[in-house]
A and B are shown apart, each in its own frame.
Chain A
Amino acid sequence: MAQSVMEKNQISDEMILEKLSQKSTINQGFSWLLQKYKERLYWHIRRMVHQHEDANDVLQNTLVKIYRGINNFKGDAKLYTWLYRIATNESLTFLKKQQRQKSTSIDNEELNLNNKLKADTYFDGNDIQHQLQLALRTLPEKQHLVFNMRYFEEIPYKEMSKALNTSVGALKASYHHAVKKIEAFLKKEN
């Protein structure tokens, strides 16, 4: 697909949507979408599910869902907001499924997380990064999600509110609590 080879920062959402709107160019449009958003979506998912293998599975499911459901995109929100919503839902579904499968006690869970993180081939964070990752895993899912979107991805509350279908006030409050909890965790550990 020679036509689809294009610098990702040259591709606008309008161009992608135009290609996606026609049956004859839908694949090219999707290729552009992948080029532009695959990495951002990957990191969004990875920060939720932590391990690369899990992130890869969730990303693939997300992208296939996007391809199959592209006709459902109404255009009333930004393309990225819609993509984020699907990636978030997929991540949360994955985490819920994972939680159901867990049979270990809460005490062992923290130890398992620690070991898993150390065993993750693709994680070579320094001590403070390691501590931060551990702290993030102690947060409830939605606080974790809001924290990632604000702290790492710097997404404005208004955009977050559209992607997560929650009020700005609730998001601010969730972020506040998440920050406080992480601070307490890190201070306790150091």
Chain B
Amino acid sequence: MKKNHHIQEELENISPFLAHLRQEEIENPKVPDGYFETIEDNIWARIKAEDEAESWGKVNVPSSPVPKVTWLQRVKSWLLCPQVGVSFALVLVAVFALNILVNPTVEEGNIVLTEEEIDEYLEENIDQFSESLLLEGMSEELADADISIELNIDDADIDAYLEENIGEIDPNLLEETW
């Protein structure tokens, strides 16, 4: 087979030894006789078998008929259960009690703190906060902050750089970056 001149030249520049080796006629490894003539039949047989298995599964495992129930019917029957009524009542009592315990005197919405006031409070009472709570707060702030840096480098520039430094780039790094 005639070798591509450009590829041969490229190889010559990297390794004359391998370029010389490449010029020799290299035989392909062998394949069983008639392999390429039978591969098509094997593929069609496999596709057919898969299709049959799939349709067999569909025909032989019918889904059991499910009676149609509208969502309104479902909600209605659920609300009519006595357990649901009792649970609702208990939840309402619990929420009311909790509200009294948490906000004994101040109504929600009346307290408006500025950023500065919060910072001042934190500074004055820094010892009162656990380290993990402070770290948690910091990581949330960092997550919200826009710290992305946009690198406007052309693919062509990256390629040019890689080509110029071809021998110096860590091959393991190349393997990982794919």
Contacts and interface: CB of A to CB of B under 8 A. Distances in A.
Given A125-B29, A167-B158, A177 B174 contact: yes
A142 interface: yes
A129 B69 CA distance: 71
A75 interface: no
A168 B159 contact: yes
A170 B162 contact: yes
A140 B3 CA distance: 26
A150 B14 CA distance: 13
Interface residues of B, number: 43
Interface of A: 31, 34-35, 38-39, 42-43, 46, 52, 56, 59-60, 63-64, 67, 120-125, 128-129, 132, 140-143, 150-151, 154, 164-170, 172-177, 179-180, 182-183, 186-187
B113 to A, nearest CB: 51
A169 B162 contact: yes
Given A143-B175, A180-B14, A167 B21 contact: no
B99 interface: no
A125 B27 contact: yes
B14 A179 contact: yes
Contact of A170 (B4, B24, B172, B177): B177
16 contacts: A34-B39, A38-B36, A122-B30, A122-B32, A125-B29, A128-B24, A132-B26, A140-B171, A151-B22, A169-B162, A169-B163, A170-B162, A170-B174, A172-B163, A176-B167, A180-B14
B40 interface: yes
B79 interface: no
Given A60-B43, A150-B7, A172-B163, A177 B29 contact: no
Given A60-B43, A182-B18, A183-B18, A177 B11 contact: no
A124 B177 CA distance: 36
A80 to B, nearest CB: 17
A142 B175 contact: yes
B13 to A, nearest CB: 9
A142 B172 CA distance: 10
Nearest to B165: A173
Minimum-distance CB pairs A-B, first 10: A169-B162, A169-B159, A122-B30, A177-B171, A183-B15, A154-B4, A179-B14, A123-B29, A140-B175, A176-B166
